[in-house]
Amino acid sequence: MRTSPNIIITGTPGVGKTVHCEQLAQETELKHLSINQVAKERGCYDGFDEKLKSHIVDEDKVFNINWQQGKLEIVQHLELVALLSPSQFLRKTLTNMSTLALYRSYSEEKLQENLDAEIFGVLLEEAREAYDEEIVVELESETDDAIESNCQRIKSWIDSWKQSHATGSD
């Protein structure tokens, strides 16, 4: 029986997924897991994209991991939105994303792909297709205050989840 919810925090690179996850992990009993790190540790790669200079995550291998084991509750990744629920989806303005991406030394091609994904709302649409609309929550992450507000909102949801599951139902 789980005692904490599973939460996905997803969005295009540079929107603040890691910042949110690390803050929530510090302020709750949840554990921050990066799908990229899990894929690396458990050999869940399906090759390397030379053009984008990044590993390709094998989603089937990731889906086969026993996510109920331990405290694997906060997960971040670009595309794996159908793994756990609910999903917290982060957005950021393109100017901020461009600056961050250049700081991270992304290739021009990878930067353009990420900006296109944000412009067209590709990942948000994937999340909405994978889940009931009411459990996909879009959050802005422009400022420190917005991040703090988002984390408070997610912590409130965690508390509600725990209260509604206190009887041992899951």
Provide the 10 A C-beta neighbour count for residue 95.
8
- The Cα–Cα gap between 111 and 73 comes to 29
3-state secondary structure of 163: helix
Residue carrying the six token digits 């894929």? 39
- 19 in a known ligand binding site: yes
- 47 in a known ligand binding site: no
- 14 in a known ligand binding site: yes
Instruction: Tell me whether strands 45-49 and 32-34 are parallel, antiparallel or unpaired.
Output: unpaired
- 95 in a known ligand binding site: no
Q: Which residue type, as a one-letter code, is found at position 154? A: I
Q: Are 109 and 101 in contact (CB under 8 A)?
A: no
The enclosing H or E element of 60 equals helix 59-63
| Known binding-site residue numbers for ATP | 14, 16-19, 104
| Known binding-site residue numbers | 14, 16-19, 104
